[in-house]
């Protein structure tokens, strides 16, 4: 194990100062998912990173997924998860599981971890105050036929009022991606889409998406550190970006085009990846900008 001298620690802290100044009082939306949500050491590291960002004057907002945890409970009840174009097919029984896992166990665990490290986290779903309004989503197949994937929603609107009030009170919002329509029907919404739209309506400085990959890779497996909208369209067209990365990159691109200064796809398997991205020159992963 490498020992860091006091002088080296001081240099590391000094390097962080310009970033603390640049992002002071700025909103940073973090999509929390992948191994960072399942490995104990990474979970603890993530919680402490979020608290540190808040303590140095930034406004972190956490949107979490919970795919592995949903799959685990579905397995226990003998139900197999199904995905189409990166979206979970969600019948009524699966929706009950989604609400139980995302709005219950996972959300409460994240809140508890952040509070344990000295933060003031508050858990929310889009059902609270109906702040995430949704409508039923349909997908198109290769013949442009509409596919019904159940209680899966697309975002109609997000009311930023609740989140803004929590930020102003030095609370850290932790949001489960469940929306509701005008009739009170609940919808499972892809967490990447919620994070992207929330970053737009909050006029966030950054949107950071934590994944189980080093970032966006080309067909040879090389990391693409910077991407423009034009380059992303090319990667969609040639199939380089596909499957579960489709909603992630689409929402990242939409956020960048809608005024979010920078969107980052980072490797959540790296310890303290969040701090490395926000507080160092090198950063980790892929940065997406509109141009």
**Dihedral (Cα; 128, 130, 133, 138), 10-degree rounding:** 60
Answer yes or no: is pLDDT of 1 > 50.
no
- Identify each DSSP E strand in 99-159 by its residue range: 121-125, 132-140, 146-158
Query: Average pLDDT of 188-200?
Result: 94
Q: Is 88 annotated as a binding residue?
A: yes
Query: Average pLDDT of 166-176?
Result: 95
Answer yes or no: is pLDDT of 95 > 90.
yes
- Give Cα separations from 125 to 111, 133, 178, 221 (angstroms): 13, 11, 6, 36
Q: Is 66 annotated as a binding residue?
A: yes
Answer yes or no: is pLDDT of 57 > 90.
yes
Is 222 or 30 the better-scoring residue by pLDDT? 30
Q: Is 71 annotated as a binding residue?
A: no
Q: Are 112 and 205 in contact (CB under 8 A)?
A: no
Domain map of the chain by residue range?
Answer: 24-288
Q: Are 42 and 271 in contact (CB under 8 A)?
A: yes
DSSP, collapsed to helix, strand or coil, labels residue 287 as: strand
Query: Average pLDDT of 56-65?
Result: 96
Architecture per CATH, domain 24-288, reads as 3-Layer(aba) Sandwich (3.40)
Query: Average pLDDT of 65-80?
Result: 91
Residue listed under structure tokens 């199904």: 82
pTM (two decimals): 0.90
Specify the pLDDT at position 2: 55
Dihedral of alpha carbons 149, 216, 250, 57, sign: positive
User: DSSP assignment, residue 289?
Assistant: -
Q: Is 123 annotated as a binding residue?
A: no
Dihedral of alpha carbons 256, 260, 262, 268, sign: negative
Task: Provide, rounded to the nearest whole percent, the portion of the chain with pLDDT above 90.
Answer: 59
């Amino acid at each position: 194990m490498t020992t860091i001298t006091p002088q080296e620690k001081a240099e590391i802290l000094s390097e962080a100062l310009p970033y603390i100044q640049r992002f002071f009082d700025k909103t940073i939306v973090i999509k929390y998912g992948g191994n960072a949500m399942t490995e104990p050491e990474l979970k603890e590291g993530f919680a402490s990173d979020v608290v540190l960002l808040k303590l140095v004057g930034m406004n972190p907002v956490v949107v979490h997924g919970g795919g592995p945890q949903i799959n685990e409970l579905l397995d226990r009840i003998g139900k197999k998860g199904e995905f189409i174009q990166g979206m979970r097919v969600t019948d009524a029984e699966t929706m009950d599981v989604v609400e139980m896992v995302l709005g219950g166990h996972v959300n409460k665990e994240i809140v508890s971890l952040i509070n344990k490290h000295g933060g003031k986290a508050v858990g929310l779903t889009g059902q609270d105050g109906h702040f995430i309004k949704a409508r039923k989503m349909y997908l198109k197949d290769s013949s442009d036929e509409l596919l019904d994937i159940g209680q899966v929603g697309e975002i109609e609107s997000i009311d930023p009022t609740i989140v803004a009030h929590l930020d102003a009170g030095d609370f850290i919002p932790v949001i489960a991606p469940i929306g509701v329509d005008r009739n009170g029907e609940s919808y499972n919404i892809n967490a990447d889409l919620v994070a992207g739209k929330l970053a737009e309506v909050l006029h966030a400085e950054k949107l950071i998406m934590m994944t189980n990959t080093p970032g966006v890779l080309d067909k040879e497996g090389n990391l693409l550190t910077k991407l423009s909208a034009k380059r992303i369209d090319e990667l969609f067209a040639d199939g380089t970006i596909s499957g579960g990365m489709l909603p992630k990159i689409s929402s990242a691109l939409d956020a960048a085009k809608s005024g979010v200064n920078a969107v980052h796809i980072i490797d959540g398997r790296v310890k303290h990846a969040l701090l490395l991205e926000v507080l160092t020159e090198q950063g980790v992963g892929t940065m997406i900008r509109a141009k």
